[in-house]
Amino acid sequence: MDTRKYLERALELEKNIYTLDRLMGRLRAQEQNIDVMPKTYNEPRGRVRNDDILGAVLFGAIPGLVIGIIAGFIFLIIFLIVVKKMNLDIPDEVLVALWLAIGIAGTLIGFGKMDGFVRYYPPELAYEEKMKRYNELTKQDNLRVQNGIQQKKILNSEISVLSGERNKVKETLQQLYNLNVIYPKYRNFVAVATFYEYFSSGRCKSLESHEGAYNIYENEVRLNTIINKLDDVISHLNEIKENQYAIYNAINEGNKKSAQIYKNTVELIANTNEIAQNSAIDAYCSYITAKNTEVLKYIALYGR
């Protein structure tokens, strides 16, 4: 078996899994960002009555009554002082009448304040225009919600298709690894890409031995010449271009491919109310199927 060819096939499958993961992640984020919650608009109102009875009593009638009584006593005392100094003879009935008049006036003022709490507001001059605007906003929001629900349906359908393809690729990759060409510890995207680069560049001709890929790989990881964790590779992608070109190139291609398919898919669902055929996803799925078929033939040939 040509080890380089084997690594090339394994790298292709790993890259396809990475691309599918990135694409599904983007589509899931898009699906979650679609808001399908209806908005609430305040319906315009015409002639409105404010019935704050408790407020009218507490802040209108009672204060007015108290103020009226107090004002009556104060006026009565002042009046009596003036009458005494002027030695006027005024009947008690007149004094009581005056006090009651002032008290009643204060009470009426209190009930006048009460009317400020219990009253009708005049109708809006632009009520018809506001109602028209309200109906239009409600109609537009209902349409937004319906479109959002349909877009979520399309996205979920596409994600389901991609998930099925990913399962197929994963299964094929597992069958390829089951040929036991690579030690289990190194059956991952970064290690396979790095081994492929070693073989393609002529740095080694075997996986084992002192000058083999395993040993070179472990030495470079220990010396921090290369990064062996995928998350760290993704975070420092531009920095690893020189020392880990194969994984850099594979991830870069996967990012570009997933971004392009994502863009085409979002544009498609933004302009349709039906689950239309997504040519970008269909084309990529066809490509994956073809690659899977090639690898399965390869496995059948060498797995006997």
CB atoms within 10 A of CB 226: 19
What is the rounded distance in angstroms from the CA atom of residue 13 to the CA atom of residue 31?
27
What is the rounded distance in angstroms from the CA atom of residue 242 to the CA atom of residue 118?
80
Torsion from C-alpha of 271, 272, 276, 277, nearest 10 degrees: 0
pTM over 0.85: no
Provide the 3-class DSSP secondary structure of residue 246.
helix
Q: What is the pLDDT of residues 25-38, one digit of tens each?
A: 999 999 999 999 99
**Same structural domain for residues 175 and 211?**
yes
**Same structural domain for residues 158 and 223?**
yes
Q: What is the pLDDT of residue 246?
A: 96
Of 101, 121, 141, the position where a domain reaches its end is 121
**Same structural domain for residues 62 and 32?**
no
**Same structural domain for residues 101 and 202?**
no
What is the rounded distance in angstroms from the CA atom of residue 145 to the CA atom of residue 39?
9
The yes-or-no verdict on residue 59 having pLDDT over 70 is no
- In whole angstroms, what separates CA 217 from the centre of its chain? 41
Q: Write the DSSP string, 189-242.
A: HHHHHHHHHHHHHTS-S-SSSTTSHHHHHHHHHHTTSS---HHHHHHTGGGGTT
- Is residue 10 within 8 A of residue 177, CB to CB? The reply is yes
In this structure, is residue 43 part of a structural domain?
no
**Same structural domain for residues 9 and 136?**
yes
**Same structural domain for residues 251 and 115?**
no
**Same structural domain for residues 71 and 212?**
no
In this structure, is residue 183 part of a structural domain?
yes
How confident is residue 91, by pLDDT bands cut at 50, 70 and 90? confident
Average pLDDT, stretch 125-134? 76
Of 99, 121, 143, the position where a domain reaches its end is 121
The yes-or-no verdict on residue 142 having pLDDT over 90 is yes
The yes-or-no verdict on residue 85 having pLDDT over 90 is no
Q: In this structure, which amino acid lies at residue 48? A: V
In this structure, is residue 42 part of a structural domain?
no
Q: Which residues pair with 48 in a beta bridge?
A: 121
**Same structural domain for residues 149 and 272?**
yes
- Domain holding 217, by residue range, is 3-36+130-302
**Same structural domain for residues 291 and 222?**
yes
Q: What is the pLDDT of residues 164-203, one digit of tens each?
A: 999 999 999 999 999 999 999 999 999 999 999 999 999 9
In this structure, is residue 290 part of a structural domain?
yes
In this structure, is residue 85 part of a structural domain?
yes
Q: What total of structural domains would you count in the chain?
A: 2
Whole-angstrom CA distances from 208 to 3, 37, 247 are: 12, 59, 21
Is the alpha carbon torsion for 287, 290, 296, 301 positive or negative? negative
**Same structural domain for residues 170 and 79?**
no
In this structure, is residue 41 part of a structural domain?
no
What is the rounded distance in angstroms from the CA atom of residue 233 to the CA atom of residue 253?
14
**Same structural domain for residues 162 and 288?**
yes
The yes-or-no verdict on residue 22 having pLDDT over 80 is yes
Of 121, 146, 165, the position where a domain reaches its end is 121
**Same structural domain for residues 149 and 221?**
yes
What is the rounded distance in angstroms from the CA atom of residue 194 to the CA atom of residue 225?
12
How confident is residue 118, by pLDDT bands cut at 50, 70 and 90? very low
